[in-house]
Amino acid sequence: MKIAVLPGDGIGTEIMAEAVKVLKVLGLPLELETALVGGAAFEAHGHPLPEGTLNLAKAADAILFGAVGDWKYDTLDRPLRPEQAILGLRKNLGLFANFRPAICYPQLVDASSLKRELVSGLDILIIRELTGDIYFGQPRGRRVATDGHFPGAEEAFDTMRYSRPEIERIAHVAFQAARKRKATGTEGRVTSVDKANVLETFQFWKDVVTDVAQQYPDIALDHMYVDNAAMQLVKAPKKFDVIVTGNMFGDILSDEASMLTGSIGMLPSASLNSKNQGLYEPSHGSAPDIAGQGVANPLATILSAAMMLRFSLNQEAAAQRIEAAVQKVLTQGLRTPDLYSEGTTKVGTAQMGDAVVKALG
Ligand code: NAD
């Protein structure tokens, strides 16, 4: 089982070291190969996604990704910025389905910024379309930009678009995920989030999702405008089961949902293509504000590695072992600073990784 390990920038290298530690003690035949990506790759090779890194990713069964970016690259021409690496990987590998589970572990109920009763028992799944929408629309309004900015320009624009097959395939992914979850006791409902009242693209989205729903009579479908969804996520998050939405709305809503779970440092994600090859990464970024201090929470990356074992490598038992170990360290009261509160034990990134390894038994 070949895994491309792409730590990236900022806390990316710190959290990845912990996930690799965990993977290495599982006793599985994993071949891990590391490559540069993002700002680190730009420094070494002049491009955030060098050919060697892309080829490694393409040849791998799965990709474990840390995070990319730093404010110091904000003046670079856009195609050279670190964040383009992740967009390039998504596009080149056809990773169109992004899974972001938001689960509130019982041990972290009080770390959430919402009241305990609102998040206790929370288990929702956000499915974000990842290779379309306004992030990939053409043409983009780049007129006079030489450094990523628009000196003297009077306007800028981006184009929102979705095709029927793009919406159909993500809708199928959502209905199938809801069906799988239903088998384990959830409600079996998909909420499609759109802005059909204002945007043509999202009226189309709504119509296509409604068509696809005909094939899943066992799964309920409802529709919600994105502004209302943003409100409902903090008002009554447990009312959701599976949320499916476009690239931009999904980007924003999944960050919002991360806070329900206590910290963005807890939220893993999987991005899959039609062959179940996947890229697994924490939902957070490179956190330049805390990089190099050894305080980042590695659990989102470790949980992403568990998702990788489950979805791309067919190692359900190993995935569950990791998830159980994470629960165990939380029960032991260990917390990185993002989750720390009185009565718990503050640990750093490496100590947290070590504790998970130990808890694997
Ligand atoms: P961020 O997610 O990096 O950080 C937001 C806040 O959350 C910061 O205060 C940070 O300290 C905290 N945080 C994030 N991860 C944490 C962790 N594991 N443990 C503890 N605290 C954590 O978002 P940002 O500050 O908006 O962006 C920073 C850089 O990351 C930018 O260059 C941005 O473009 C990039 N970014 C990259 C990705 C990616 O690689 N997929 C995703 C989002 C942002």
Please indicate, yes or no, whether residues 185 and 232 belong to a single structural domain of this protein: yes
pTM of the model: 0.88
Quote the pLDDT of residue 213.
98
For a substitution probing ligand 1, which of 258, 284, 301 has the most ligand atoms within 8 Å of its CB?
284
Residue span of the structural domain in which 126 resides:
113-261
Which tens digit of pLDDT belongs to each residue from 82-105? 999 998 999 899 999 999 999 998
237 preceded by a cis bond (ω within 30 of 0): no
Question: Can 194 be counted among the known catalytic residues?
Answer: no
Distance CA 31, CA 2 (A): 5
Quote the pLDDT of residue 318.
96
Query: Per the residue annotation, which of 110, 158, 255, 354 is the catalytic one?
Result: 255
Q: Is 288 in the pocket of ligand 1 (CB under 6 A)?
A: yes
Ligand 1 atom nearest residue 298's Cα: 18
Quote the pLDDT of residue 113.
85
Inform me whether the pLDDT recorded for 212 exceeds 90: yes
Task: Specify the CATH number for the domain of residue 190.
Answer: 3.40.718.10
Q: Please state the rounded mean pLDDT for residues 1-6.
A: 97
Q: Is 255 in the pocket of ligand 1 (CB under 6 A)?
A: no
Residue % of the chain over a pLDDT of 90 = 78
Inform me whether the pLDDT recorded for 144 exceeds 60: no
Question: Can 251 be counted among the known catalytic residues?
Answer: yes
Q: Is 287 in the pocket of ligand 1 (CB under 6 A)?
A: yes
**Nearest residue (CA) to ligand 1, atom 34:** 69
* Count of domains observed in the chain: 2
- DSSP classification of residue 190: E
Residue 122: inside a domain, yes or no? yes
Question: Can 74 be counted among the known catalytic residues?
Answer: no
Please indicate, yes or no, whether residues 78 and 145 belong to a single structural domain of this protein: no
| pLDDT bucket at 147, cuts 50 / 70 / 90 | low
Cα distance from N-terminal residue to C-terminal residue, the chain? 23
Q: Please state the rounded mean pLDDT for residues 122-148.
A: 78
Query: Per the residue annotation, which of 110, 123, 251, 354 is the catalytic one?
Result: 251
Q: Which two tokens stand for residue 162?
A: 């979705």
Quote the pLDDT of residue 56.
98
> Which of 243, 261, 279 is where one domain is finished?
261
Quote the pLDDT of residue 98.
95
Inform me whether the pLDDT recorded for 150 exceeds 90: no
Please indicate, yes or no, whether residues 138 and 227 belong to a single structural domain of this protein: yes
Which tens digit of pLDDT belongs to each residue from 292-349? 999 999 999 999 999 999 989 999 999 999 999 999 999 999 999 999 988 999 999 9
Inform me whether the pLDDT recorded for 137 exceeds 90: no
- Report DSSP letters for 97-125, one per residue: EEEEEEE--GGGGGGSSS-HHHHTT-EEE
Q: Is 137 in the pocket of ligand 1 (CB under 6 A)?
A: no
Q: Please state the rounded mean pLDDT for residues 255-278.
A: 88
Q: Please state the rounded mean pLDDT for residues 180-196.
A: 92
Q: Residue 141: name the closest of 157, 154, 126, 130 by CA.
A: 157
> Which of 214, 244, 261 is where one domain is finished?
261
**Nearest residue (CA) to ligand 1, atom 11:** 287
Ligand 1 atom nearest residue 73's Cα: 32
Q: Which two tokens stand for residue 100?
A: 């972001």
Inform me whether the pLDDT recorded for 141 exceeds 80: no
Residue 188: inside a domain, yes or no? yes
What does the mean pLDDT of the chain come to? 93
Quote the pLDDT of residue 129.
96
> Which of 204, 226, 261 is where one domain is finished?
261
Q: How far away, in angstroms, is 355 Cα from ligand 1 center?
A: 24
Q: Which amino acid makes up residue 130?
A: L
Inform me whether the pLDDT recorded for 245 exceeds 90: yes
Q: How far away, in angstroms, is 194 Cα from ligand 1 center?
A: 26
Please indicate, yes or no, whether residues 248 and 163 belong to a single structural domain of this protein: yes
